[in-house]
Amino acid sequence: MTAGHSNSTLDLVHAYHERTKHHFDRYAAGPDFLDWEQQPNPFRQFDTSPRIKLPLDFAGLPEPGLESLTAHQPHLAITDWGLKEISSLLRFSMGLAAWKVYGPDRWSLRCNPSSGNLHPTETYLLANGLKSLKDGVYHYAPYQHALELRAETQSAPHSQPQLWVAFSSIAWREAWKYGERAYRYVQLDIGHAIGALAYSAAALGYCLQRLPISRVELAKLLGLDRREDFEDAEAEYPDLIFSLQERSDQLPGLSGADGIQPFSATQWHGCANRLSDHPSHHWPLIDELEKNLMGYPPCRQTPLETSIPAPAKAPDHPTRQIILQRRSAQAFRGKSTLQQADFYQILDRCLPRPTEQPWQSWPYQARIHLLLFVHQVAGLSPGLYLMPRSQAVIPWLKQSLDEDFSWQTVKGCPPHIPLHQLVSAEVKKAARAVSCHQDIAASSFFSLGMLAEFDSALQTSGPLAYPELFWEAGLIGQVLYLQAEAHGVRGTGIGCFFDDVVHQIAGVKDSGLQSLYHFTIGEPKPDNRLQTLPAYHHLGV
């Protein structure tokens, strides 16, 4: 890329981010109404593609606990993976978790959370040299829990057996409801998907290793550039691809792509289904941004090097049980208090340790830090707190935030958790107000905003740092979701907030820090009007 092209794309990124901020007096551009007749189909499929049903019986597979994933060792080499292992990998990351029923309405929930439960993320599996699958490119169909063979492939002689998992996004699914701001939510969903896949792979004794190929190359690899297969379908853009590796404490941040370069398709199958008949709204700014980012290679982020002590021991629940029970809370009781030890354990897991999941699968220096609105945590005074996820950045954060903040260390907090009290005060009204007046940000134990090192990331890594910052935020969100469940409470992500009002509360003076995602954790208030059905009851399971 030329410097001029790079600068113009950076300008587009900055312009998009500013244009899609919510403000007290106006929201980002979105539909005037929800056209329910055009609500996107949440399930993409490729008609006429050969389909392989995946088993839903996981007897015999290891059952590691969430707290012991790091110590878990693989019981099978990739070459010996059968359909049961492949099924487990996809079932407990991108598969269905349950169905909800209210009167005549029925909707599915998935293991990977999504903004508005709209699920723009698609999953592809690439297999080479396995005994259980022919070499090929497969699309994962979560409704049928099946693999659709998109392409038969031929790899180079003597290439190593390998599995790759790739993600792509269909922005229309989010834009139908959220308009121009939808691109942000699509990228947050990719971050959640990375976390979901990392945990699911770890339960089988494996971790993820990202391949450094551009989106143009990935589109060709997945067949997303085949216009004849997407002629009548909404645009689908590639995001990133991982290989599955046996766990190692010395994995590099980006693996070489040599093993996938000779992987070429010999025959393609199927055409993508259309998700809406005649959309009543179009948001060309999202496509413009996606197309401008296509040619860039992945960011060369700084590898994660940290000596953070191991996290404190916590109750160890079966990983797959926690994954399946995860839900987004719709309301909180607002009466109980979170124990201080639980609070610290939840925050502790957000610190990036290169030997812990999911950070072993995303081993980069932290660029997202947590601004906390603490409401009801035993032994902590209500107030505004900050937890930098890197000790090295604390001096810069002190210069970048309100100079009147006290930066008090928190008595009783484990010394390796850099939690600081900025202001001691009741902050429920502020939390509710900045999160688009949503009560879930105030009736919780605590809520938070994720502040990104925005300008420095874009200047250092280029325009692709923009979606990758959202990926990191979504990855933190996935940690918070599962940690909340493991501690007997519940969380929910909040994509709607007043961007610059958050910055004003934090004393941010420029675009050096930007809030990208909010999250809240509390005691859930169940909705007894809803009926829950098993995830694959429609398949007779």
Element (H, E) at 52: strand 51-53
Q: Are 410 and 421 in contact (CB under 8 A)?
A: yes
pLDDT (tens digit, 9 = 90+) per residue, 109-154? 999 999 999 999 999 999 999 999 999 999 999 999 999 999 999 8
Q: What is the pLDDT of residue 280?
A: 66
Q: How many CB atoms lie within 10 A of CB 388?
A: 20
H-state helical runs in 311-379: 319-325, 340-348
Instruction: Give me the residues paired with residue 155 across strands.
Output: none
Ranges of beta strands (E only) in 419-489 are 420-424, 446-453
**Residue 416: strand, helix, or coil:** coil
H-state helical runs in 36-162: 83-91
Q: What is the third-level CATH fold of 327-522?
A: NADH Oxidase (3.40.109)
Distance CA 317, CA 304 (A): 27
Q: What is the pLDDT of residue 250?
A: 42
The sign one gets for the Cα dihedral 225, 231, 235, 240 is negative
Most confident of the ranges 69-83, 349-363, 478-492: 478-492
Range in 90-94, 259-263, 396-400 the model is least confident about: 259-263
pLDDT band at 261 (very low <50, low <70, confident <90, very high): low
The sign one gets for the Cα dihedral 433, 484, 120, 290 is positive
φ and ψ at residue 365, rounded to 5 degrees: -60, 140
pLDDT (tens digit, 9 = 90+) per residue, 192-224? 999 999 999 999 999 999 999 999 999 999 999
Q: What is the pLDDT of residue 158?
A: 63
Range in 21-30, 70-79, 257-266, 445-454 the model is least confident about: 257-266
Distance CA 124, CA 148 (A): 9
Task: Report, as an integer, the average pLDDT of 244-256.
Answer: 58
Q: What is the pLDDT of residue 376?
A: 98
pLDDT band at 254 (very low <50, low <70, confident <90, very high): very low
Q: What is the pLDDT of residue 2?
A: 37
pLDDT band at 295 (very low <50, low <70, confident <90, very high): confident
Using CA atoms of 19, 25, 30, 32 in order, give the dihedral in degrees to the nearest 10.
-150
Distance CA 369, CA 454 (A): 11
Q: Do domains 42-59+78-293 and 327-522 have the same CATH topology?
A: yes
Length of the chain: 541
CA of 431: how far to CAs of 29, 276, 444, 449, 494, in Å?
23, 36, 10, 9, 11
Using CA atoms of 186, 191, 195, 201 in order, give the dihedral in degrees to the nearest 10.
80
Q: How many CB atoms lie within 10 A of CB 80?
A: 13
| DSSP code string of 257-316 | STTTTT-EEEEE--EEPPS-SS-S---HHHHHHHHHHTTPPPP-PPBP---PPPPPP---
Q: What is the pLDDT of residue 303?
A: 85
For the chain, which residues make up each domain, given as ranges? 42-59+78-293, 327-522
User: What is the average pLDDT score of the chain?
Assistant: 93
pLDDT (tens digit, 9 = 90+) per residue, 166-192? 999 999 999 999 999 999 999 999 999
Q: What is the third-level CATH fold of 42-59+78-293?
A: NADH Oxidase (3.40.109)
Percentage of the chain modeled with pLDDT above 70? 95
Distance CA 427, CA 493 (A): 19
| DSSP code string of 399-440 | HHS-TT---EEPTTS-TTS--EEEEES--HHHHHHHTTT-GG
Is residue 472 scored above 90 in pLDDT? yes
Q: What is the pLDDT of residue 260?
A: 67
